[in-house]
Structure 1
Amino acid sequence: MLRVLTLSTLFPDATRPNFGIFVERQTAGLAATDGVEVKVVAPIGLPPGPLALIQHADKLSLPEREMWRRIDVYRPRFTSIPAVGGRWHAHHLLRALEPLLDRIRHDFPFDVIDASFFFPDGPAAVALGERYGVPVSIKARGADIHHWGTSGATAAQVVAAGQAADGLLAVSAAMRADMAGIGIPGERVRVHHTGVDLDRFRPIDRRNAKAALGVDGPLVLSLGALIPRKGHHLVLHAIAVLPGVTLAIAGQGPEHGRLKALAAELGVADRVRLLGGIAHADLPAIIGAADVMALASTSEGLANAWLEALACGTPIVISDAGGAREVVRTRDAGRIVAGNPANIAVGIADVLAHPPEPDAVRAAATDFTWEANRAALVAHLATLVARGRRRTPRQRQASRG
């Protein structure tokens, strides 16, 4: 029996059902594997004192333990101090986890800690691995390296965790290179691609799907959190120079008001739909209706939205971020363009003028299965357990001293 403790601050809950849903899917696959038992610790960071009640009353109401879609999930709270750049996140997370994991370990002597996000999960996981004498794996996904791994307050913590971990995963080869670029040993990083549910995300009748949305004519979808680095505003500028094209933006976030105002300013409010948050179960119908999925991210690991679009037979026009070149390998899959409105518009127009067959688009996603993701993760974690904890140079020096 392989007993895995999955640690993830990126995990859905009742207040954020789409948050980290790819981590949930990966963990569900792991938990469903014969000979594997999993418990999940999904910490929730909250500001200190009354700020928690004022800003996050909904999260305070979440149960501290629950069966979430057949997964045993603990939801401890830890203090997330604002305005310090995350400097103390890992410290407070560790302090919150130690008593909880002491109790969990009494009945569930986990063999390995699987941290599915690099910060603050990674530094805390390394310390916990030392506390319990078990190996630790940390997975890099995107902002955990591109933001936390380069920020002055947290970069050293990220690099130290990467150097001390027993195993390392990255969602793409590009992410592995970025990890090496900040001082994490790239030769120790295993590329572990995300997956896509090919049964749920598949081509549908695009004409009927558009009609259900009340759209007539070309439809472009921009999908992701409404935050600046996703580049929705760049796609909106691109649509402004493509007459007759409708843009649907699916997602929630602080940029909603800015995007609405920008559509009005550009004179295209009648061609822009701000759909808000879409339940993951409803995404196939939205994606399948689109002629193109466009995402102009400034940074990514390997976006699940790319794969979900391709699986639906919808070609993608994306910026050259993260693992883009590991996904868009043919012109049927779409175009990789410079992240500016002019080039995005050219890419969209080219795909609309030369639409590929949906099955040819879908072929680009068929290697990215959750089954492959699960098998690779099980093999990775089992290898770490069989090998035991590695001794870092610092530990070897300490033993000699």
Structure 2
Amino acid sequence: MNGAAYFTARLARGLAERGADVHVLCPSASGRPHVVERDGVVEHRLRSMPSLAHESVSLALPPGVRGHLNRLLDRLRPDAVHIQNHFLVGRMLANAAHTHGVPVVATNHFMPENLFDHMRIPEPLRPHMAGLAWWDLGRVLSRVEHVTTPTPAAAGLLVEQGFARPVEPVSCGIDLVRFRPVSEGGPGRGSGSETGSGQAEERRRIRARLGIPDRRTMLFVGRLDEEKRTDELIRAVALSHGSSGSSGSVSSSGAPGIQLLLAGHGAHRGRLAELARAEGVADRVVFLGFVAHEDLPDVYRCADVFTIAGIAELQSIATLEAMASGLPVVAADAMALPHLVEEGRNGYLYPPGDPAALAARVASVVSEEAVRARMGAHSRSMASGHRLEDSLKRFEQIYRDVSVGARTSGAQVGTGRG
């Protein structure tokens, strides 16, 4: 469960809805190999075992996989293969595809920082391991026909790490129908303060349905793991209340009555709950856990501001969902997050590792409903530049281009597949 997985699922379903014949190859969540069709997509689930690195990760077992891939490629004769990671399955599939003359597209969602905590890499060894990880990634991607990544910043990162091939930024895209702001209907329908009143009332109704206290709410959606740095969000809540926790820090940055809503699960949930108790804000930090697919849009709609502290985000689908839902954003000034924030227009950036600055930015957003509403509307406008339909169209064109290129190359050497 991560952004790459959600992107893959949306891409597969979206392509199928547009008439493509889509097959997905991935590890089985139960461990048992099987084939199932869902939402018009055929899933080929490989035999797998639980990962020691993370509870939500299953690892495919290599024995028999290559033979399975050869039979699958012989039967399907795909126009293109699109890999979403360069690890076991993606690497083996790319190699098999090339053997069968099938062009390969690769999208990179990877940064070494996403693995360090799960693999329990000691801090002193991390720079060396990062270098090896980037080298391995470059070796795999150098053999594919087309490379994409979600943002210009992510593309630039690959170049910085010595990758010499062209890299195209293609947004993960967002469903602007499913993720939308709270409605402007009801008693507060109108403009200005009346519209804001109606939206605030709907947020209260949604909070009641989800069992969330009716307070000003800063939201984070994602895995509760080390690289997400969710502890900064909890410390910001404590500072907003002038609480004195184990660190003894006290601040009067404002935003009285604010709470933090955490939607998702991960290895650090226990530590985060303990931190909230130590900072004296256990009653202001709400752990929703895993959120059902149908409830996720309302989780965004019940919040006042979206906050994200991660420094290893190549785009952040959750931030895009929040923006499409009409939420202002306060984000760490790191990696690709600045692409999603226009200072003072849809939110603010803050220096990573500075929860006091985060608390101050949040306070400036939620202190007045008119400010929150104006920034939320601009977030929605920015999100419209990341329409899922546009991403689907671009990937369709990429598949056509690499397929035509493969056929042309095959014809020139007399090995076309017909």
TM-score bracket for the superposition, by shorter chain length: 0.7 to 0.9
Looking at structure 2, the residues matched to 81 and 40 of structure 1 have their Cα atoms a distance apart, in angstroms, of 20
Distance 1:38 1:216, change over 3 A: closer
Instruction: Work out whether residues 146 and 167 of structure 2, in 8 Å CA contact, stay in contact via their aligned partners in 1.
Output: yes
Question: Aligned to 1:349, which of 363, 367, 370?
Answer: 363
SS at structure 1 position matched to 2:294? helix
Are the aligned partners of 2:343 and 2:349 in contact in 1 as well (CA < 8 Å)? no
Q: 2:167 aligns with which of 189, 195, 213?
A: 189
Q: How far apart are residue 121 of structure 1 and its match?
A: 4.5
Q: Does 1:39 align with 2:19?
A: no
Change beyond 3 A, Cα 1:96–1:231: farther
Q: Which residue of 1 aligns with 2:149?
A: 170
Counterpart of 2:372 in structure 1: which amino acid? P
Report the TM-score when normalising by structure 2: 0.77
CA distance in 2, matches of 1:145, 1:177: 17
| Structure 2 counterpart of 1:273 | 286
Instruction: Tell me the alpha carbon deviations over residues 265-305 of structure 1, each in whole angstroms, 9 at most, x when there is no partner.
Output: 00111111111111132111111111111110021111111
For the 8 Å contact 2:112–2:133, the answer to whether it is kept is no
- 1:371 — aligned with what? 389
Residue by residue over 1:312-341, the C-alpha shift from the partner in whole angstroms, topping out at 9 and shown as x without a partner, is 111111112332222213533211111221
Q: Percent identity?
A: 26
Asked if residue 210 in structure 1 is aligned to residue 207 in structure 2, the reply is yes
- Tell me what 1:15 maps to: none
Distance 1:42 1:383 in 2: 25
Secondary structure at the residue paired with 1:127?
helix
Q: 1:306 aligns with which of 306, 319, 322?
A: 319
Distance 1:178 1:172, change over 3 A: same
Q: Distance in 1 between matches of 2:86 and 2:346?
A: 30
Aligned-partner Cα distance in 2 for 1:81–1:98? 21
In structure 2, what is the equivalent of residue 109 of structure 1? 77
CA contact (8 A) 1:329 1:364 kept: no
Distance 1:326 1:296 in 2: 15
Aligned counterpart, 1:224: 222
Number of residue pairs aligned between Structure 1 and Structure 2: 353
| 3-state SS of paired residue (1:264) | helix
Q: Where do residues 227-246 of structure 1 align in structure 2 (5 Å cutoff)?
A: 227-243=225-241, 244-246=257-259
What do residues 44-67 of structure 1 show as CA deviations (whole Å, max 9, x unaligned)? 5xxxxxxxxxxxxx622x551111
The answer for unaligned runs of 5 or more in structure 1 is: 1-9, 12-17, 45-57, 84-88, 392-401
Q: 1:99 aligns with which of 67, 73, 95?
A: 67
2:8 aligned with 1:23: yes
- Give the partner amino acid of 2:373: P
Aligned 8 A contact 1:77 1:96 in 2: no
- Partner letter of residue 41 of structure 1? L
SS of 1:350 mapped into structure 2: helix
RMSD across aligned C-alpha pairs, in angstroms?
A: 2.7
Cα distance change, pair 123–208 in 1 and its aligned pair in 2 (3 A): same
For each residue in 1:93-119, what CA deviation from the matched residue of structure 2 results, as whole angstroms up to 9, or x when unmatched?
Answer: 5x5432112222332111221102233
SS of 2:335's partner is coil
Structure 2: runs of 5+ lacking an equivalent:
54-58, 117-127, 183-201, 242-256, 410-418
| Residue identity matched to 1:376 | R
Paired amino acid for 1:355: R
Q: Deviations over 1:2-59 (max 9, x none)?
A: xxxxxxxx79xxxxxx98222101111122223x322111135xxxxxxxxxxxxx62
Gap change, CA 1:347 and 1:121, over 3 Å in 2: farther
The answer to whether the 8 A contact 1:123-1:158 is kept is no
Match of 1:240, SS state, is helix
1:144 deviates by 6.5
2:97 corresponds to: 129
CA distances 1:209-243 after superposition (whole Å, capped 9, x unpaired): 23434423311112110101111111000010112
User: Which residue in 1 is equivalent to 2:415?
Assistant: none
CA distance in 2, matches of 1:250, 1:128: 39
Give 3-state SS (helix, strand or coil) of 1:65's partner: strand
Of stretches 262-271 and 98-107 in structure 1, the one that deviates more from structure 2 is: 98-107
1:351, CA displacement in angstroms?
1.0
Q: What corresponds to 1:70 in structure 2? A: 40
TM-score by length of 1: 0.80
Which whole-Å CA distance do the structure 2 matches of 1:383 and 1:128 have between them? 20
Greater mean alpha carbon deviation, residues 292-301 or residues 123-132: 123-132
